[in-house]
Amino acid sequence: MKMPLKGVEPKPGDLIEISRFGYRHWALYVGYGYVIHLAPPSEFTKTGFFSLMSVVADKAVVRKEPLWAVVKGDDYRVNNKHDGKLPRRSVDQIIQEAESLVGKTMPYSVTSENCEHFVTKLRYGVARSDQVRDAMVAGAVGIMGVGALVAVATFIGALLSDNKQEDE
């Protein structure tokens, strides 16, 4: 089965970034075509309603599955994005810890304990999620933009009101 891989072939310990509609799912490549990932309800199926379920889920299961089954035809790539910034644990440590978690139910939060936090903790010993940070920055910029529009509209409204009163 041909999958849309972007870039290099994965090696054990590599982080796999999977492009889903509206978000990125993350998995850890463990070799022989398998990945380990934190699977909230949205990852058990690929329908719009269940994708929204990960926002409210508070538990997820650590699963070991074939890469092709997790990718589900979506684009994916190796993305060890913190290499060079964070020290990487040994491949043996990464795989051993990941394998020890398979089948366990873990706490899940889209903002603080998601699949990206899970795999970065395994690879680097530090849980990070850039998509959460990026979403928070985008949200803050959006709020500031709306605030600026309201301020401009209020200012223009006040000017027009003053001009109308002067004309009367």
User: Which residues are tagged catalytic?
Assistant: 25, 37, 115
14-18 CB contacts, 8 Å cutoff, 24+ apart: 14/78, 14/80, 15/78, 15/79, 15/80, 15/81, 15/119, 15/120, 15/123, 16/67, 16/70, 16/76, 16/77, 16/78, 16/79, 17/76, 17/77, 17/78, 17/79, 18/70, 18/71, 18/74, 18/75, 18/76
Please say whether the beta carbons of 16 and 27 come within 8 A. Answer: yes
